Structure 1
Amino acid sequence: MRTVALLLLGVRLVCPETHSLKYFFTAVSGNIDFPEFTIVGLVDEEQFIYFDSNTMKVVPKTEWMRQKEGADYWDTQTQLAAGTHQAFRDNI
């Protein structure tokens, strides 16, 4: 018998201007064809970053993020995401 656990967590931040920032963390367990952990970041409903436990790398999803941030930023974000992945894994 297989068990699959799914944990979804959404974070929504809104500033007084007209912008919104949301992060969605998804953690799953069990034998399924989907990454064990993903992070999707949205600004104004547009995806700007992505991380999953298969690639273990945070990547920009918009041209403005590719141009704005350098390699150090992406390395730091990847380390933070990997730590969050481990915490979710421990909790599941």
Structure 2
Amino acid sequence: MKAAALLFIIGLLLVSGGSHSLQYFYTAVTPGTDFPEFTAVGLVDGEQFMYYDSNIRQAIPKVDWIKNNEGPDYWTRTTQIIQRFEAIYKDSIGTVMQRFNQSGGE
């Protein structure tokens, strides 16, 4: 019998000036699924502008306006920040699996 996959989703909503919204969604799942163990998606006013997952290990732009306005330093910093979140989430998944006596295998 396979253990059920655990899933964490957290959304962070920041609003500035009342006219725009910035949201980040972080998703972590237990190892052994066909889905990346960690993903991050950034949205401005509901439009996805960036993506990261634990397979590619790099934040990438998803729309032209961000590609044309942010350089490599921005993407390096963003990748580093998200990788810190990834480490925290992976740690949390491990803790939850222990507490619920889930080995992650058969």
Shorter-chain TM-score: what band? over 0.9
Q: Which amino acid aligns with 1:21?
A: L
How many residues in Structure 1 have an aligned counterpart in Structure 2?
A: 92
Contact 1:25 1:38 in 2 (8 A): yes
Normalising by structure 2, we get a TM-score of 0.81
Name the one with the larger strand percent: 1
- CA RMSD, 1 decimal: 1.1
Larger Rg: 2
Aligned to 2:68, the other structure's residue is in SS state: helix
1:26-68 C-alpha deviation (Å, 9 max, x unpaired): 0000421101000000001000111000000000111111111
Task: Give 1:71 deviation, angstroms.
Answer: 0.7
Normalising by structure 1, we get a TM-score of 0.93
Moved over 2 A (4+): none
Q: Which moved more, 1:23-32 or 1:36-45?
A: 23-32
Identical-residue share of aligned pairs (%): 46
| 1:2 is aligned to 2:3 | yes
Task: Name the counterpart of 1:50.
Answer: 51
User: What is the alpha-carbon distance in structure 1 between the residues aligned to residue 61 and residue 49 of structure 2?
Assistant: 6
**Runs of at least 5 residues in structure 2 that lack an aligned partner in the other structure:** 94-106
Q: State the structure with bigger RCO (CA 8 A, min sep 6), 1 or 2.
A: 2
